Chain A
Amino acid sequence: MAKVIEGLYYSESHEFVRIEGEFGFVGITDYAQNQLGNVVYVDMPEVDDEVTAGEEFGAVESVKAASDLISPVSGTVVEVNEALEDEPELINKDAFENWVMKVKLSDPSEVESLMDAASYEKTCE
């Protein structure tokens, strides 16, 4: 059973965002990593890139396939998770802990259109 964490916001394309003040930590869900299998590469954005809710900001790749990452929020990338450059498999170990990018949110109200844990859990069944 895929893990779902309370207090995070979820997108239909299986990204999550954890809100801390004016920042959002964005990654893929446990369900997504489980579907992908061994993650062998994460194509991350660069610091200062602008990202837009609903638009692609990178990709996460398994042995066989690349899967686009869709940003659940809009804003400016202030940090990327550099640990994933050398150890992309960290996403398989703990997807929620190993976020991909930290975004300074331009419109914090956007998260209201995302799912909460209970709603997301239903989409994974």
Chain B
Amino acid sequence: MSDMKKTCLYDAHVQLGATMVPFGGFEMPLQYSNIIDEHRAVREACGVFDVSHMGEVFVEGNDAERFVQYIFTNDISGAEVGKIFYGMMLHENGGTVDDLLVYKMGDMKFLLVVNAANIDKDYAWIEKQAASFDVETRNESPCWGQLAIQGPEAEDVTTKVLGLPCKELEFYTFNEMDSDGEHLIVSRTGYTGEDGFEIYGTPKYIVAAWEKLMASGHAKPCGLGCRDTLRFEVGLPLYGDELTDEITPLEAGLGMFVKLDKGDFIGRDALLKQKEEGLKRKIVGIELEGRAIPRHGYEVLKDDVVVGTVTTGYNSISTGKSVCMALVDINAAALDTPIAVRIHKKVQPGIVTKKRFYKKSYKK
């Protein structure tokens, strides 16, 4: 793993005895204790994740808003400073370059938070699109550390342990603030289906904040293992599974983050066409009758014919059911369609369900 990047918290993870794995070009903690305990800590109390691997790209200049509108599927026009939007950047053919958060930092300044594995691809793509706009783009990813504090007790922990005023923050908004002489961005966002905050700061601040959280005993260190089981249970997509260069946001069921009527953006024509012609395939939820676990890449069958593949699957830690998301032909995508997954050598029966296997508990 010698070519792997390390986050500012690498030493802290090793010290805690984390199992380290490669993810998105980084050496990241998969788990500290075990995935089930960490998952439950986030659902029931509070967990903290090192998400310093995420990418931070700043877009600034006279054309900043017009530019972001052109490369991003959601509609940021007229938004107030402090607002955050979720959406995608698309190829001309509608396939997804990445899914990301856009932070409106100022009337002419935006922060794009992108997936670790896509930082280089995204930045090259963004730079290329920016050529004909009056904007400056900066990939500041290595300069920022990031923590995600998640769970029903996240507000208490963030306020009391880190002393960050965040009670007034609404869902999908952020504040810039100073703490211990450090400049921070604090947002009410996350990737777990629970209330929580994401804190962006210098590596120095992030390491100190992590130490405070560990010393407090009120935030359980959580690895990428449960980050995936948590996001999956509430039907959130992971780039590489439910979204790829070949999968459009309409196929992924993310149409609510695509504003086709906002004006031109890259990929819009392809999506309009796809909408007009009707989807040929779609990401659905599947619940199996037994406990066998459907995993990424397994075949999905309807009437013994292969109709798709599993994108993510688990035995849900919160519900105990074996469930998955899968990309299937449209003729197999209707709710309650009897459908099956080939697991090892056996065909396991199930039905098509909604993608949300567990209820989100956001504080809105």
Chain A interface: which of B56-64, B202-210, B291-299, B354-362? B291-299
Tell me the B28-79 residues at the A interface (CB within 8 Å): 30-31, 34-36
> In the complex the two chains form, is B293's CB within 8 Å of A37's CB?
no
> In the complex the two chains form, is A38's CB within 8 Å of B291's CB?
no
Cα distance, A77 to B99, chains bound together (Å): 49
A37's partner among B34, B229, B344, B346 (CB-CB below 8 A) is: B34
Tell me the A30-57 residues at the B interface (CB within 8 Å): 37-38, 40-41, 43
A41-B35 in contact given A63-B314, A64-B225 (Cβ < 8 Å): no
**A85 contacts the other chain (Cβ, under 8 Å)?**
yes
Closest chain-B Cβ to A67's Cβ sits at a distance in Å of 11
Secondary structure call for the B interface: mixed
**A114 contacts the other chain (Cβ, under 8 Å)?**
no
Residues of A with C-beta under 8 A to B343: 43
Tell me the B290-337 residues at the A interface (CB within 8 Å): 291-293, 295, 314-315, 317, 322
**A78 contacts the other chain (Cβ, under 8 Å)?**
no
- Interface size of B by Cβ–Cβ distance < 8 Å? 18
> In the complex the two chains form, is B35's CB within 8 Å of A63's CB?
yes
Cα distance, A64 to B293, chains bound together (Å): 10
> In the complex the two chains form, is A61's CB within 8 Å of B35's CB?
no
A40's partner among B30, B225, B315, B346 (CB-CB below 8 A) is: B315
> In the complex the two chains form, is A66's CB within 8 Å of B293's CB?
yes
Residues of A with C-beta under 8 A to B314: 63
**A59 contacts the other chain (Cβ, under 8 Å)?**
yes
> In the complex the two chains form, is B229's CB within 8 Å of A63's CB?
yes
Cα distance, A118 to B59, chains bound together (Å): 63
Closest chain-A Cβ to B22's Cβ sits at a distance in Å of 14
A43-B344 in contact given A37-B31, A64-B30 (Cβ < 8 Å): yes
> In the complex the two chains form, is A43's CB within 8 Å of B292's CB?
yes
> In the complex, what residue of chain A is closest to B346 when comparing beta carbons?
A43
> In the complex the two chains form, is B34's CB within 8 Å of A41's CB?
no
Residues of A with C-beta under 8 A to B34: 37-38
Residues of B with C-beta under 8 A to A43: 292, 343-344, 346
> In the complex the two chains form, is A59's CB within 8 Å of B225's CB?
no
> In the complex the two chains form, is A41's CB within 8 Å of B315's CB?
yes
Residues of B with C-beta under 8 A to A41: 291-293, 315, 322
> In the complex, what residue of chain B is closest to A62 when comparing beta carbons?
B35
Closest chain-A Cβ to B87's Cβ sits at a distance in Å of 29
> In the complex the two chains form, is A61's CB within 8 Å of B36's CB?
no
Closest chain-B Cβ to A37's Cβ sits at a distance in Å of 5
Residues of A with C-beta under 8 A to B229: 63
Closest chain-B Cβ to A88's Cβ sits at a distance in Å of 8
> In the complex, what residue of chain B is closest to A42 when comparing beta carbons?
B291
> In the complex the two chains form, is A63's CB within 8 Å of B295's CB?
no
Tell me the B244-263 residues at the A interface (CB within 8 Å): none
Cα distance, A61 to B290, chains bound together (Å): 14
Closest chain-B Cβ to A49's Cβ sits at a distance in Å of 11
B295's partner among A37, A58, A66, A85 (CB-CB below 8 A) is: A66
> In the complex, what residue of chain B is closest to A46 when comparing beta carbons?
B346
Contacts A37-B31, A63-B35 supplied; 8 other A-B pairs, CB < 8 Å: A40-B291, A40-B315, A41-B315, A62-B35, A63-B314, A63-B317, A64-B225, A66-B295
Q: List 21 A-B contacts (CB under 8 A).
A: A37-B31, A37-B34, A37-B35, A38-B34, A38-B35, A38-B36, A40-B291, A41-B291, A41-B292, A41-B322, A43-B343, A58-B344, A61-B293, A61-B315, A63-B225, A63-B229, A63-B314, A63-B315, A63-B317, A64-B30, A64-B225
